[in-house]
Each structure stands twice: as structure tokens, then as C-alpha cells.
Homo-oligomer: A and B are copies of this chain.
Amino acid sequence: MTGSATANRASAKREALLSTAQDLFSRQGYRAVGIDTLLAEAGVAKMTLYKQFGSKEELIAAVLERLAGQISSALTARLAHAAGGSQGRILAVFDWLADRVRSPDFHGCLFMKAASEYPEATDRPRQAAETFKAGCRALLEEQCNELGIADPSRLAHQLHLLLEGALVLSFLERDPRAATEAREAAAVLLTAAAHGS
């Protein structure tokens, strides 16, 4: 299938490491979780981690890149089935957001936390976070461009503000309603932009 059996064994351990890391980092933070804790939870030897990733920061970056891929897939799948044209697809993004913050294993945006805990421009986790958020912005702009409005880029930026605000506030207040309020606000901005300004 995807290579030899020994390679599968390797990637199974790799996967265990990534998903355990994602869970622990998500609930406790990056610096708060030590390597040993993570290894015990994943049932993986230390050398395996360092063979696969090289360092803790690289592991974090790998977690973020994997998560970015998952989110991207989930999002494009949603957009494919969304009704209502570009406008409907934009609202579908906020529907996805509402689901995400309601998930029991949502404990804030891992990308933002990574940028907070590894704030240097040269830190790999921060770079992964910037790349992902730029992708989000691009996706929103793509949809806004098809709206045929005056300033699609500005609208995309404003929608992005709502999206990030909802992520942050639903985490801090432990209340997923922030996401549905973001959707409502997005709808207001959409119609306002459509009617010209």
C-alpha cells in the first residue's frame, strides 16, 4: 500500500506521537508539557521521537502542519457541499467554525498558542502558525473575490477578524456561542458589502 511494513510501523509511531502531542499541547500548552510526559502517554521511546523529529520544536511544527492539513481538508469538503454561491460558502466557513469550537477537544487555537509561546520570527512553531493563518486569509479572499464587490480584500480581512475573535473568545469564555455570533456578524458585513458602501 503505502510502503513496506517496517515503514508502516515507523509511521504508526509517528502518528501516535503527533496525535498525543496535539492532545496534550492543546490542553496544557507547549512549554507546560515535558517530553517525558508526552512519551509516556504515547507509549513511545525517546529515541523514536528524536529520530523522527529531531527536537521538540520540530515536533510542534509537525503537529501544526498536520493539523493545518486536516483543517484544510475539512474546510474544502464543506465548501464543496455549501449552497448559496460564494456568499453561502463564506457562511459555511463560519458554520465549520461553530462546529469546531463545540468539539470537546477544542481548547483554543493551537496556532495562536504556538505563536505566543514561540514568538521569535525564526521559531519553527511560529512560522507554521503564520503559514496557516495566511492560508485562512487566502481562502477567505478567494471567496470574496467571487462576490463581485468593490473591495473584496477588505471584506476578507474583516471576516478574518471575526473568525479569529470567535476562536479566542470561545476559548476564553468557554462558550461556543461566540462562533454563532461571528456568523451573524459575518452575514451583516456580507450584505452591507453587497449593497455597496
Query: Which A residues between 143 and 197 are near B, CB-CB below 8 angstroms?
Result: 154, 157-158, 160-169, 171-173, 178, 181-182, 184-185, 188-189, 191-192, 197
Cβ contact within 8 Å between A173 and B133: yes
State the copy count for this chain. Answer: 2
Stretch of A70-78, A85-93, A110-118 at the chain-chain interface = A110-118
Cα distance, A171 to B129, chains bound together (Å): 12
Residues of B close to A28: CB separation below 8 A? 119
Residues of B close to A185: CB separation below 8 A? 158, 161-162, 189
Cβ contact within 8 Å between B160 and A162: no
Residues of B close to A112: CB separation below 8 A? 112, 116, 168, 172
Given the interface pairs A29-B31, A157-B178, A181-B154, the reply to whether A172 lies near B117 with Cβ below 8 Å is no
Cβ contact within 8 Å between A173 and B130: yes
List the B residue with the shortest CB-CB distance to A162.
B161
Whether a CB of chain B sits under 8 angstroms from the CB of A27 is: yes
Cα distance, A164 to B108, chains bound together (Å): 13
List the B residue with the shortest CB-CB distance to A112.
B168
Which 7 A-B pairs give the minimum distances between C-beta atoms? A165-B165, A161-B165, A158-B185, A31-B31, A164-B165, A164-B168, A113-B116
